[in-house]
Amino acid sequence: MSDRFGRDPGTEELIEYYNQPERCSWVLLSAKEKRFLQEEILRCMNSFEYCARNYFWISTKDMRDVPLRLMDTQELVLEAVNRLKAKGRGVRLLIIKARQLYVSTFVEAYVAWCCMFQPNANALVLSYDTPHAASLFSIILHIYDRLPWWLRPMIGPRKYMEELHLINPDPELRAIDPGLNTRIVVQSAGRYTGVAEGYRINFAHISELGSMDEGKARSLIFGDLRWALPDDPTTFAVIESRVKRSARFLERLWESQVRLGDVATWFPLFLPIYFDKSHFIPPEDGWHPEEPELAVKERAAEEWCVCSNCQQIRPTNFGGQSMRGAACSDCQVGTYQPYDLKDGQMRWLWQQRKNAEAIGESALMDMRQSLATSPQEAFQYVTETLFSKAAMDRVASSIREPLAVGFMDSQGVFHAPRRHSGAESAICWARGCTRNHAGEPDRFLRVWEMPIEGAKYSVGVDVASGQGRGHDYSVIWVNRLGIPPNPDVQVACFRSDSTRPTDLALVANAIGRWYNNALMTVDYTNFQTVGDQLRHYLNYPNLYQWKNLDSANVLTPRYHWVFNSRNKEDAWIQLDAWLADGSLIVRDEIFAWEMRHFARNEDGSIGCPERKRQQSWDGSGEEEYVHDDTVTACQLALLGAHQMDRRVPGVQVSTDAFGLKATGPWVACCLKCGLVWHREQYNAAERCPLEGCKSIMVKWRHESWDKPENPIRFEDMSRSTPSNPSGFYPSVQELTF
Distance CA 412, CA 474 (A): 18
Residue among 567, 549, 546, 548 at smallest CA distance from 557: 546
Kindly indicate the confidence band of residue 226, based on its pLDDT and cuts at 50, 70 and 90.
confident
Judged by average pLDDT, the poorest of 125-129, 159-163, 388-392, 478-482 is: 159-163
Average pLDDT, the chain: 81
Percent over 90 (pLDDT), the chain: 34
Distance CA 328, CA 350 (A): 32
Domain boundaries, the chain: 3-70+81-268, 291-372, 404-642, 655-702
Distances (CA, A) of 692 to 481, 647, 709: 14, 7, 37
Percent over 70 (pLDDT), the chain: 83
β-bridge pairing 236-241 and 91-97: parallel
Residue among 550, 483, 552 at smallest CA distance from 692: 483
Question: What's the CATH superfamily of 3-70+81-268?
Answer: P-loop containing nucleotide triphosphate hydrolases (3.40.50.300)
* pLDDT per position as a tens digit, 297-345: 988 888 888 888 888 888 887 655 667 888 887 778 889 899 999 999 9
Q: Long-range contacts for 22-25 (Cβ within 8 Å, ≥24 apart)?
A: 24/149, 25/149
Entry pTM: 0.72
Q: Which pLDDT does position 607 carry in this prediction?
A: 62
Tell me which of 714 and 260 has the higher pLDDT: 260
Question: 3-state DSSP call for residue 35?
Answer: helix
Residue 713 has pLDDT above 70, yes or no: no
Helix axes 11-18, 31-46, angle to 10 degrees: 130
Decide yes or no: CATH 3.40.190.10 for domain 404-642.
no
Q: What type of residue is 562?
A: V
The mean pLDDT value for 47-76 works out to 90
Kindly indicate the confidence band of residue 423, based on its pLDDT and cuts at 50, 70 and 90.
low
